[in-house]
Amino acid sequence: MTGGPQVELPSYLRLHASGELEWRLEQAQAILSHCTLCPRNCRVNRLEGQTGYCRAGSEPVVASWNAHHWEEPPISGSGGSGTIFFTHCTARCLFCQNYPISQLGVGQKISVARLSQIMLELQARGCHNINLVTPTHFVPQILAALPAAIDGGLRLPLVYNTSGYDTVETIRLLSDVVDVYLPDAKYADDDVGERLSGFRHYVENNRSALCEMYRQVGEDLVLSADGLALRGLIIRHLVLPAGLAGTNAVLTWIRDALSPRVHVSLMAQYFPAHHALNDPVLCRKITPEEYIEALECFDALQIERGWRQEYCEESD
């Protein structure tokens, strides 16, 4: 992890001042009439009440917002990350721990103006950033909320916390809007991605999106003087039972296609939830040996930066 040159203010302030943010908003809102925000390309007219795979409409739907203290250290810091959990999802993960939000639609429809206020409320609470959780299907609404939030004094970095099932076109709309990308690299095999999460062609789309994120922010995680993330990329990978996530292949691609210096968060926190409880493979936590194998891959590939979770046997 490196500090590098510090960025004092988020780049979205410059975009707003130049009028570029308004143009990005216009481009994003136009997509809602034939939605192609994610790789599913449902092409439904969300402005007229049509919904596609994710079931999202024209207004943002939010399940919760709060200070979150259990993200990676540069994201949570001491004051917490200002998480906004968006309802609905572009996936149907069998093991989703937040399935009431992502798949059952738990949450409340709010106005764009209210979304702006939530951002400012999280800033007032002392959160270090605005952490947009599962945001892909609400990118236009997020962009629409930013001008009022900026005019109200928003100065926190924006964190884009995504499954990584994104299109390059959508990620390009977020260039210099998002400060910290926090995507997953879930799978190395498309068939596994479709069976476990309902993703179509996950690997190609995920890797294209990660390449665009990397192009925008590079390999260095820019930190404040007190160690908080200001700009950069952190890729998350969740180790699954029986090697289903393809950990070695995922980490190898990150090293070779991006850089061994990209920050990788290797997660051991899998536990069976939702439909995974009835799956013959997913119905158990990963074993200590499975996580050790993942750690050995991390070391053998000489990935230089990142975080490892401590395996907790007490929850077995």
> What are 233-254's pLDDT values in tens digits?
999 999 999 999 999 999 999 9
List pLDDT tens digits, range 61-117: 999 999 999 999 999 999 999 999 999 999 999 999 999 999 999 999 999 999 999
The percent of residues above 90 in pLDDT, for the chain, comes to 94
Structure tokens at 11: 């780049």
Neighbours of 9 (CB within 10 A): 11
pLDDT at 309: 83
- pTM of the full structure: 0.96
The domain ranges of the chain are: 12-311
For the structural domain made of 12-311, what CATH number should be given?
3.20.20.70
